[in-house]
Amino acid sequence: MLASIDFADGNMESAEDSYARALLLPEISVHAERTLRIYHVQAPVPDDLVPPGLLSYVSPEIHPLEICNEEWLTGLREAEFQSQDVSRRITAQEDLCNTH
């Protein structure tokens, strides 16, 4: 939402930063956050403890913005953390940019 507001106001640098953070964060369930405290182990992947359908219900979908700066997109592709959700979001962003 913050990226959308910055984008609408023309603050592209802030929009790119906010939006990249949103895209690159995995959907984390409450169960995964509590795994360390309860079992004293990290969840292997933050979103693999809860079925994806439930996570999609709990965490709303992130819709692509028309941010198509090639350097910014390359930074997304090279992000250290990748999960199925993160990859799907990056692909959706690239698809939007390829159609414009």
Q: Whole-number mean pLDDT of the chain?
A: 75
pLDDT, position 13: 92
pLDDT, position 29: 54
For residue 100, pLDDT beyond 60? yes
CB count, 10 Å around CB of 63? 10
- Rounded Cα distance, 47 and 30, in Å: 10
Mean pLDDT along residues 29-53: 57
Domain that holds residue 77: 2-99
CA distances (Å), origin 75, targets 17, 20, 23, 98: 11, 9, 12, 17
pLDDT in tens, 56-82: 555 566 778 888 889 988 988 888 766
- Domains held by the chain: number: 1
Of 100, 92, 89, 95, residue with least CA distance to 21: 89
- What is the share, in percent, of the chain residues with pLDDT greater than 70? 62
